[in-house]
Structure 1
Amino acid sequence: MPSHAPKPPAAPSPEAGGHGAPPTPDLLRVERDHLAASRTALRAMRHDVESLDISDVTGNWVNARVLAEQIDARIRALADLADTPLFFGRLDYLHAPGAAEAEGAEGENFYIGRRHVHDEHGSPMVIDWRAPVSQPFYRASRTEPMDVRLRRRFGYTGGELTAYEDEHLDDAAETQVSSRLLQAEIERPRVGPMRDIVATIQPEQDEIVRADMSGTVCVQGGPGTGKTAVGLHRVAYLLYAHRERLARTGTLVVGPNASFLRYIEQVLPALGELHVKQATVDGLVAHVPVRGTDQAATATLKGDARMALVLRNAVRSGIRMPTEPVMVVRGSRRWRVAAYELEEIVREMAARDIRYGAAREALPQRIAHLVLVRMEHAGEAPDDRVQDAVARNAAVKAAVKECWPAVDPKKLVLRLLSEPEFLASCADGVLTEEEQRLLLWEKPARGVASARWSAADAVLIDEAADLVQRTPSLGHVVLDEAQDLSPMQYRAVGRRCSTGSATVLGDLAQGTTPWATGAWREALEHLGKPEARVEELTRGFRVPREVIAYASRLLPAIAPGLAPATSVRESRGALSVRQVAPDALDAAVLAACRDSLEQEGSIGLIAADARLPELAAALAADGLPYLEPGEETSAQARLTLVPASLAKGLEYDYVVLDDPAAIVAGEPDTRTGLRRLYVCLTRPVSGLTVVHADPLPDALV
C-alpha cells in the first residue's frame, strides 16, 4: 500500500502520513486543488440556500415558519468545518461496462466524505459516505474488490491535505500492508468531545452501520471496539437512507448519564445530522422530581419485570361491575340500558388487551351505541351526532365513572408503595410477603408533591402511565451502555420504539449495577425485540494491546465465557503499574499526572468516588488545573478528574488510575467492583499508569 507525501521542510507528523515512499507532489497538488474546489462548491451551495426568497411562497404564517426552520437547518448542515476534512478517501472504479455494483459508476472516480458536495452543474465533487457507491471504501478487499480498481486514503494535518496512500485492489502482486494513515487517524490524540470514525470504519462495523432499518441489532462489544461510534454512525446512515420516514417518526440516542451525552453530542452534527434527540433513561421517565434513593435490594426489586404485572393489576383494580341500569333521557323519551348489558360491555373491555385509558374513552360510545339501537327499533333515525350526544349524557358519564374510574399514574404508584393492603391485593401470587415489605416506604408520603421519589419509582410511574395511555413510538432508538439497565428500564426504552427499531449497544463485562444484564436474549425480551440479532465486536481499535490484555485478566471473574477483545494496536510501554506506601499515594498520583501531561492529548485521572475530594484538594494545592467529566479539554486544561462511577463510555489518551482496591471496595459486592475496575482500566487510548498502595486484585498481581 504505497504512501505518498510531499517533501516537507521538516519530518512530517504521523498524522501527515509520510512514510519515506517516493513523493509525488504533482498528484498531491491535484488532490489539494480538488479539496479547495470542493470547499468553494460547498460555500456556493450554502450561499444558494441563504439567498432563497421565501416571502411569498407559503399560504400562511405557520407554513412560512416551518419552511424557514427547514432552510435554517439546511444552512447549518452545509457549514464547512475548517478543522474537519471534507473528504477522506477516493474510489476509482474499473472501466469495464457493468463492472461497478452502483449503477453509473463504471470507470468513475469518487471522493468519499462526510457530506455530498456538487458543483454549479450538479455534478458530484464529494460523495456522502452513506451512499451505496461509497460502500466499497469500507468493505472492498483484494479477495473481494467490489469492482474497485484503486482505493486512496488521505492524510491531513489540521485542515490541510498533506499525504495520500494508495491500495490497488486489482493488482494481486502488490504487497498487502496495514494502512499507516488509518493507524494514525485511530491514534490521533483525544482532545475535546468524541470524534466520528467515518474515515476508519472497518468492514465488520460497516455491516452493522448499514443493517436494514426494519430489524433491531444488538451489539456486544468489548472496550475499544467502537460500539458507541458504530451506533451513532448507524443513526446517521438511517437518516440518510430513510430520511422522510424518520423525519416523521423521530430518532433518539439514550446514554447512561449527562456527562456521556455531552461527550458524544458533536458526532452527529459533524456528520451533518442536527435533529437527533439525546436523553438518559432517567430523563425519559422524568414524570416526578427524583429526590430519594433506594437500597440496592429495593431498587433491584423495583426494576424486576414482575413489577409490570403488579402495576397492571393495580391499574385495573378499580374496575367494578355495574349494579344499576343507565337511564338516558332525550326529549320526552327515556332509554334504558340494563345492568347486565352494561356488565357485558365492561367485561368485554376488561378482557381485551388495550390501554386502560383507551377502553375508558370507548366505554361511553359503546353504551351510546346500545341506546341508538333502541332508537332505531322504535322507528327513529339517529346519526353519529346523536350517538356523541348520548355518550356525553350525564347518566352515561356517571356510569363510566363508577365502573371504570380514571387513573392517575403518580397517585397509583404512591398508593402502591404506601398502602400494605393495596400492594398485597395487587401483588398476590406475584411477589412474596418479604418482597412486598421491601417495597413499602417506611414513611408514607402525604401526597405526590411531598413524596421522595427514587429513580426506580419514576420508571414504575412510566410503566403505569403507559398502561393508561400508549407512549408515542419513535422510528429508531439507539440504546448505549445497555448492560446496566433493569428489566423495567428496558421496557421503558422499548415503549419508545414499539413500532420502530433499535440499536442496542453494550458489554456484559462492564455491567456495574446490581441488576446488570446477564444475557442479551433476556434483555431483548424485556425491550420487546426478541427477534433482534446479536452481533459481537471483538477487534479493538482504541485500547492498546498491552492494556486490554491486562484488563482482560478480570474476565473469568466478571463475565465467564465472554471472549476477550483483541487489539490491532501495539504500543510498547503503554502500561505502568506502580506500588507505593499509603502515605505516598497522593504524591505518586500527582507525579503520574505530571508525567502524562508531558505527552500530547487528554489525561483522565480516574479514582473511586470517595477519593475525589482528597484528590481534588491535592491537585489544587499542587497547582494542577483539572476539569469535570464532559467538559471540553483545551491547551490550558487537559486533565480531567473522573469518578469511577462516571468513567463508562469516556476515553482519554492517557489514564492515571488511582488505587484499584478503593474502586472495588466502593461497590456493593466484589463482582460489581471488579467490573467497575475493568471499565476504568480500559479508558486509555495511548497509555495507562496504575498507582496503588493497597494490594491489587489477585487476577492483576
Structure 2
Amino acid sequence: MTSPEKPSLHHALAQERAYHDTCRAALSAMVDGAQEHVVTGEDVSASGADAEVLGYQLRSKAKALRELPEGPLFFGRLDFDSGEHEHAGQRYHVGRLRITEHPAAPPLVVDWRAPVSRAFYQASARDPRGVRVRRRFGWAPGSLGDSVDLTGLEDEHLEEGRAHGEAGAGIQAEAEAGALGAMRGASRILVDEIERPRVGPMRDIAATIQPEQDDLVRGDLATSVCVQGAPGTGKTAVGLHRAAYLLYTYPQRIRRGGLLILGPNPTFLSYISAVLPALGETGVRQSTVAGEIGRHPVKAADGERAGVVKHDARMAEVLRRALYARVRVAAEGAGDNGLAVPDGSYRWRVPGDELARIVAGVRSEEPPYAVGRERVRTRIVRRLQREAERRAGPPTQAWVRKISGARVVSAYVDAVWPRVLPEEVVAELLTDPAALTAAADGVLDTDEQKAILWARPPRSYKSARWSAADLVLLDEVAGLIEHPEGYGHLVIDEAQDLSPMECRAIARRAAFGSMTVLGDLAQGTTPWAARDWAELLGHLGKPEAVVVPLTTGFRVPGAVVELTNRLLARLDVRVPAARSLRRDGEVRIRPTGPVERAGRVGDVVEETVCAVRDALGYEGSVGVIAAESDVARVREALGAAGIETAGPDELGARVTVLGAGAAKGLEYDHVVAVEPAAIVEAEAEAAQGEGMGAGARGLRRLYVVMTRAVSRLDVVHARPLPFD
C-alpha cells in the first residue's frame, strides 16, 4: 500500500482510530477462532502422539490469546518508499502481537519482533532503510486499548533527511526535546513514554527500544551475551525483550529446551512479571536461584564467614572428593576370589583383579556418579556375556537382564559404588571433622573448615536444618550424581551478586543452552559479588560470552546520574561512568542540622516526613529507603503524619518504605534516601574481614539506593555524606 496525501492531523487521527477498531475486531475473531480450533482439533484423526501434540499446541495458543493483557494494539507505523526492496510501497502498523483477519491475509499489525519491524527501531535520517515515514502513536496513560485513547501521532519523514515532521492532537513537536529527543529526532511521544511516571509493575519498552538495545534483543539464540548496564540503561528490559524475541524467532528450539528467567528475589520477579505477558508470551518460567535449587526449606542461617566459604568455588572440589571417596576399587570381603554369579547349576566367575580394573577404569573416566554405578554393572555383565558366548553362543536378552539383576552383582556394585543421596554427603561433611579434613586437605585451611562445621550436628541428615548456602552445596552434589535437565536459554538478572557456587548451579542447567547475563558490577552487594565479568562468566560456563556495556541512561535523569557518579568513583570497580540522555530531574540534599551533631535520628525522620509530603505533590511513586534498623520508625512517623505507606512487595502503592537491601532492581519516580551514612555502616559492619574492604559493600548499597530514582532524589541526612 502506498501512503496517501497528507490529511489534516485530526482526520489522520480519525483514520487511525477506525483502523484500531478494525484490528480490535480481528483480534477478537482470532481469540474465538483459536478456541474453535481446540474443539475441532479434539476430533482430529491421527495417532495418539500426534493428536496429543496438536491438542497441546492448539490449547496453548488459545490460552495465550485469552490471557493477553488489554492495551493499545499498535504503537507505530512504517511507510516504505517505492525503491527496489522487499517492502517497496508497503505500510505496516507495528504492535506487540501479529493481528490478521485470516491466516493467509496480510497482517493488519506486524509483531515488533518480525524482521520488517527492525526498521522501526533502526531507521534514521542518515540510514532510512527504505522507510519514507515513521509514525509514532501517543496513547493516554494506562489505556486499555479503547480507540478514543489514541490522542496523538507524530511523523518522521526520513526520506527527506528530516528526523521529525509534524505532530498532532495536542502533542507539539519541539526543536529540542532534551538530549534524548535530539538523538531520536526530537520525538516528543518517545520522550513522554520513556519519562512517564512509574507506578506498579515494570512496563515493556517495545515502543521505545533504542538501536543499541535492539541489537542486543535480536542477538542469535546460540550466542551468549553479558550486558554490563549502568542504572537506568534498561538492561532488565533488554533481557526480557530478548527472551520474548527468542520465543518468537526460535519457537521449536526454545520449546524443546525451555526458557528460564532468573531474578534476585521474589519481589523483583513480581515487579517484572507483567512484561512478557504484555508482549504476548505467557507460561515462561520465572524463578530465583533458590527456587531452582531448593530441595528443602531454609530453616537455618549461616554466619557470614561460613556463608563466604560455602559459596566459594573451592567447595566444588571438596564436595567432589567427599562424594567419590565412597567409591572402593575392591569390595570388602571380596578378596582375591572375585565374583561368583550363579546361573542355574553353573557359576560364572570374575577374578578380583579384573573387577578392580573395571572399577578403577570407570572411576578414571569421571562420569556422573549415578552413571558410574551403572557403568560398573554394565561392564561386569559384558565380561560375563563374552564368557557365555565362548561357552554356548550368544545369550538372549532375557539372560543378560537376569545376570544384570542378579543379587550378587547388585551387592557388589553397592559395595564398591554405593547409592548415595546429596543430603548424606553434605551432612557428613559438615558434621564429621575427620571427613571434612580428608576432603578439604590442601583446599580449605583449618579456620575455613572450622567455620563451616555445624555447631550442633543433627542426629541424621533427615533431621538437618539446611541454610541457603547448604542448598547450593546440595545442588552441587546432586549435579555430580546426575546432571539436571537444562534449558535452551537463560536470562539472569542482577548476576553480579551471584556466588561462584551459584554460578555453577546455573551452568549445569545451561550446559547445552545459551545465556543473557545482566548486571552492574557497581551494584554488587553480596560478600562474594563479582568484580570482574570474565571470572563470573567462567563460573557460568560461558567464558566466550561477549561483554557489552550499556552506559546511556534513559530512565535515570542527568541530575541523579551526576551525583551518583561521584559515588561510583569510590566503589573500586572498573565500569564506565553512566551518562543520561535526560536533562531533567532534581536532586535535593536535605541536612537536618550541623554535621558535627551526628546521629540525630529524630530530626532525620521529621525531615523525611517533610520530603515525602513534598514528593506527593508530584505524579508517580515514592520510595523511602533507609537502613534496615530505621525502617520501622520511618514508617511509624509517616503513618503518624497521616501518610499511608506500603512495603516493597505491595506493587502499585503510592508511597513505599523499604530497607536498602530490598531496593535492588526496583524503580521509583521519587526516592527519599534516609541517612546515607547509616546505610553504608549497616553493610560495612557485616563486611569487615571478608575481603571486599571495610565499607565497600555499604557504598555499593548506597549507590543502588540512590539510582532507584527516575525523576527526583531527596537525600536526608544529619551525618556527613559518604560521597562528599
2:156 corresponds to which letter in structure 1?
Answer: E
* Matches of 1:401 and 1:126, distance apart in 2: 63
Quote the sequence identity (%): 47
Give ranges in structure 2 of 5+ residues lacking alignment: 1-5, 165-181, 594-599, 687-693
Work out whether 1:239 is the aligned partner of 2:271: no
CA-to-partner distance for each residue in 1:324-379, whole Å, 9 max, x for gaps? 31111111221101111111110111011310111112221111111111111112
* Matches of 1:115 and 1:292, distance apart in 2: 46
Q: Contact between 2:125 and 2:162, CA under 8 Å: does it hold in 1?
A: no
Task: State the partner residue of 1:123.
Answer: 106
* Matches of 1:113 and 1:655, distance apart in 2: 33
Deviation at 1:460, TM superposition (A): 0.5
Work out whether 1:328 is the aligned partner of 2:315: no
* Matches of 1:390 and 1:94, distance apart in 2: 76
Give secondary structure in 2 for the equivalent of 1:534.
strand
Deviation at 1:389, TM superposition (A): 1.5
Instruction: Give 1:333-348 correspondences, 5 Å limit.
Output: 333-348=346-361
Instruction: Give 1:409-488 correspondences, 5 Å limit.
Output: 409-488=422-501
* Matches of 2:241 and 2:71, distance apart in 1: 16
Deviation at 1:553, TM superposition (A): 0.7
Deviation at 1:280, TM superposition (A): 0.9
Task: State the partner residue of 2:642.
Answer: 623
Work out whether 1:31 is the aligned partner of 2:9: no
Task: State the partner residue of 1:87.
Answer: 74
**CA 1:354/1:85 → structure 2, altered by over 3 Å: closer, same or farther?**
same
1:628 corresponds to which letter in structure 2?
Answer: G
Deviation at 1:118, TM superposition (A): 0.6
**CA 1:601/1:72 → structure 2, altered by over 3 Å: closer, same or farther?**
farther
**Greater CA drift, 352-361 or 289-298:** 289-298
Deviation at 1:148, TM superposition (A): 1.6
Work out whether 1:510 is the aligned partner of 2:541: no
* Matches of 2:10 and 2:500, distance apart in 1: 59
Q: Contact between 1:327 and 1:334, CA under 8 Å: does it hold in 2?
A: yes
TM-score w.r.t. structure 2 length?
Answer: 0.90
**Greater CA drift, 436-445 or 400-409:** 436-445
CA-to-partner distance for each residue in 1:380-424, whole Å, 9 max, x for gaps? 320333222111101111110111111210111011011111011
Task: State the partner residue of 2:169.
Answer: none
Deviation at 1:449, TM superposition (A): 3.6
Query: Which residue of 221, 227, 252 corresponds with 1:219?
Result: 227
**Greater CA drift, 507-516 or 40-49:** 40-49
* Matches of 1:643 and 1:43, distance apart in 2: 45
Deviation at 1:560, TM superposition (A): 4.0
CA-to-partner distance for each residue in 1:6-27, whole Å, 9 max, x for gaps? xxxxxxxxxxxxxxx9961112
* Matches of 1:174 and 1:271, distance apart in 2: 27
Task: State the partner residue of 2:397.
Answer: 384
Work out whether 1:586 is the aligned partner of 2:605: yes
1:28 corresponds to which letter in structure 2?
Answer: L
CA-to-partner distance for each residue in 1:142-168, whole Å, 9 max, x for gaps? 222222222111111124211111112
Deviation at 1:216, TM superposition (A): 0.7
* Matches of 1:194 and 1:22, distance apart in 2: 37
Task: State the partner residue of 1:12.
Answer: none
Work out whether 1:162 is the aligned partner of 2:151: yes
Task: State the partner residue of 1:684.
Answer: 709
Instruction: Give 1:613-652 correspondences, 5 Å limit.
Output: 613-633=632-652, 637-652=653-668
* Matches of 1:493 and 1:220, distance apart in 2: 19
Deviation at 1:430, TM superposition (A): 1.3
Query: Which residue of 28, 44, 54 corresponds with 2:29?
Result: 44
Query: Which residue of 545, 550, 572 corresponds with 1:532?
Result: 545
**Greater CA drift, 69-78 or 487-496:** 69-78
2:675 corresponds to which letter in structure 1?
Answer: D
**Greater CA drift, 154-163 or 308-317:** 154-163
Work out whether 1:653 is the aligned partner of 2:665: no
* Matches of 1:81 and 1:251, distance apart in 2: 19
Deviation at 1:521, TM superposition (A): 0.4
Q: Contact between 1:368 and 1:388, CA under 8 Å: does it hold in 2?
A: no
CA-to-partner distance for each residue in 1:433-468, whole Å, 9 max, x for gaps? 222112212222222243232111110000000000
* Matches of 2:66 and 2:711, distance apart in 1: 32
Deviation at 1:82, TM superposition (A): 7.3
Give secondary structure in 2 for the equivalent of 1:663.
helix
**Greater CA drift, 427-436 or 522-531:** 427-436
1:576 corresponds to which letter in structure 2?
Answer: R
Q: Contact between 2:126 and 2:161, CA under 8 Å: does it hold in 1?
A: no
Deviation at 1:71, TM superposition (A): 3.7
1:96 corresponds to which letter in structure 2?
Answer: G
Work out whether 1:276 is the aligned partner of 2:284: yes
TM-score w.r.t. structure 1 length?
Answer: 0.92
Deviation at 1:470, TM superposition (A): 0.6
**Greater CA drift, 591-600 or 39-48:** 591-600
**CA 1:313/1:174 → structure 2, altered by over 3 Å: closer, same or farther?**
closer
Query: Which residue of 605, 613, 624 corresponds with 1:605?
Result: 624
Query: Which residue of 114, 128, 136 corresponds with 2:119?
Result: 136
User: How many aligned residue pairs are there?
Assistant: 670
CA-to-partner distance for each residue in 1:293-351, whole Å, 9 max, x for gaps? 22222211111111111111111001112243111111122110111111111011101
Give secondary structure in 2 for the equivalent of 1:87.
coil
Task: State the partner residue of 2:558.
Answer: 545
RMSD, aligned α-carbons: 1.9
Task: State the partner residue of 2:174.
Answer: none
* Matches of 2:126 and 2:46, distance apart in 1: 58
Deviation at 1:622, TM superposition (A): 2.2
**Greater CA drift, 492-501 or 52-61:** 52-61
Work out whether 1:310 is the aligned partner of 2:321: no
* Matches of 1:61 and 1:616, distance apart in 2: 60
* Matches of 2:356 and 2:660, distance apart in 1: 58
**Greater CA drift, 429-438 or 511-520:** 429-438
1:24 corresponds to which letter in structure 2?
Answer: L
* Matches of 1:302 and 1:560, distance apart in 2: 24
Give secondary structure in 2 for the equivalent of 1:51.
helix
Give secondary structure in 1 for the equivalent of 2:372.
helix
* Matches of 1:290 and 1:655, distance apart in 2: 33
Q: Contact between 1:42 and 1:80, CA under 8 Å: does it hold in 2?
A: no
